[in-house]
Amino acid sequence: MFYLGVDLGGTNIKAGIFSPECQLRDKSSAPCPQTDDPAEIVVAICDLSQQLLGDNNIPVKEVRAMGLGSPGPMNLKEGLVLKAPNIPALHNYPLGRKVSRRLGPPVLLENDANAACWGEFTQGAGKEVTEMVFLTLGTGIGGGVIANGKLVHGWKDEAGELGHMIIYPGGRLCGCGQKGCAEAYASASNIALRAMDIVRQDNQASSLRAVLEQHQTLTAKDVFDHAGQGDRLAQSVVDEATDVLGLLCVNVLHFSQPQRIVFSGGMIGAGAPLLEGIRRAFQRHIWTMKSETLEICFASLGSDAGLIGAAALAIDAYN
C-alpha cells in the first residue's frame, strides 16, 4: 500500500508517492491552473496524482490516503480553504473533500507551512526533538509550531503566523495590514524592497545601484551577494533583517521554549552569513539571567518538505 503527498502552490503543484514508512518513491509536478474555477484546481491535483501513479504502475485503490498542503488560513474541522494567497479560486472551498471524491482515497488537508513544519519535524532537522518551531523565509515569513510532539493549530486553525509577530510597533507597513511585523523587515521580498528604497533615496555609494539600474529591480540574493563582497549599504540591510530574525527567535523562545528553531525557504541559500547573523542577534538580545541552549539551524529537506510533511500527516492520521 502507498500514500500520496501533495504540495499546492500558486505556481506549481507537486505530488509524491510514499511508502508506509514515509520513504519517497517518486515525485512529479505540474503548473497550477490560473483560474477562477476551483474545480479546475481539483482536476489538476487529481490528474497529476493519477499520472504519477500510472507512471509507477500503482492502481489508485492501493493508495490508503493523501495528505494535501494548501496555502492560506483554513477550517480544518470542515475541510475548508478559507482564502489562499495567489489562488483566488479557493475561497471557502472544501478542497480536501472535492479531491477525495474525484480521486478516491481519503484526503487530509493542512496548511502548507504546517505541512512543511511536520515534514522537517518527522523526517528532517527536527527528528531528535519534541519541541520545535519552524520558520520559512520567502515572499513572506510562514511558520509552524510543534509542542509535545504535536502541531499547534490554535482555536481557529491559524496558529503559527509567526511572521506577523510585531517587532517594531508602529513600524513598516506589512502586507497583512499591521505595522512592524517581522515579515515587513526580514522576508526575501521585503529585504529586496528595503534595499531598493535605500539605493533610490540615499546618495551613498553602492554596487547595488548598477544592478538596480540594469534590471529595474533587486532580489534578496543580490543583497546578500553584494554584502558578502563588502558593500556597506547591502550589509546594513542584511544586518537589519538578521537582527529582526534574532529578535523573533527571542520572542519565540519565551513563548513556547522550543529545543530547536528551524529556518527554511529559498532565503536560506544565503548560507552562513544569514544563519550566523541570526545567532549573533539572538545572543545580543536574549536575557542574561541564564544561558540558553536553544539550537537555531537550517532545514534539511529543501523544497520537498511540504510534500513529505503532507504525506507524513496522512500516514499518521491513517494509522
Q: How far apart are CA 136 and CA 150, in angstroms?
A: 19
The mean per-residue pLDDT over the stretch 52-61 comes to: 97
Q: What does the pLDDT look like over 154-173, one tens digit per residue?
A: 999 989 999 999 999 999 99
Integer CA distances (angstroms), 73 to 113, 118, 216, in order? 10, 17, 33
- Let me know whether 245 and 291 are in one domain: yes
pLDDT at 92 over 80: yes
- Let me know whether 105 and 215 are in one domain: no
Q: How far apart are CA 117 and CA 263, in angstroms?
A: 10
- The whole-number pLDDT of residue 85 equals 79
- Let me know whether 158 and 295 are in one domain: yes
First to last CA, the chain: 13
- Let me know whether 143 and 269 are in one domain: yes
Q: How far apart are CA 198 and CA 21, in angstroms?
A: 50
Task: Residue 260: give its domain's CATH number.
Answer: 3.30.420.40
- Let me know whether 109 and 176 are in one domain: no
Strands 63-70 and 107-111, sheet pairing: parallel
* Cβ-Cβ contacts under 8 Å for 317 (sequence gap 6 or more): 65, 67, 108
- Let me know whether 212 and 314 are in one domain: no
Name the one residue in this structure whose C-alpha cell is 515579515: 183
Q: What is the pTM of this model?
A: 0.94
User: How many structural domains compose the chain?
Assistant: 2
Q: What does the pLDDT look like over 112-171, one tens digit per residue?
A: 999 999 999 999 999 999 999 999 999 899 999 999 999 999 999 989 999 999 999 999
- The whole-number pLDDT of residue 63 equals 98
- Let me know whether 269 and 293 are in one domain: yes
The mean per-residue pLDDT over the stretch 86-104 comes to: 95
- Let me know whether 32 and 172 are in one domain: no
- Let me know whether 21 and 45 are in one domain: yes
- Let me know whether 30 and 41 are in one domain: yes
SS3 198: helix
Q: Which residue range is the domain that position 244 belongs to?
A: 125-300
Confidence of residue 86 (pLDDT cuts 50, 70, 90): confident
Cell numbers placing 40? 479546475
- Let me know whether 46 and 88 are in one domain: yes
Confidence of residue 12 (pLDDT cuts 50, 70, 90): very high
- Let me know whether 145 and 218 are in one domain: yes
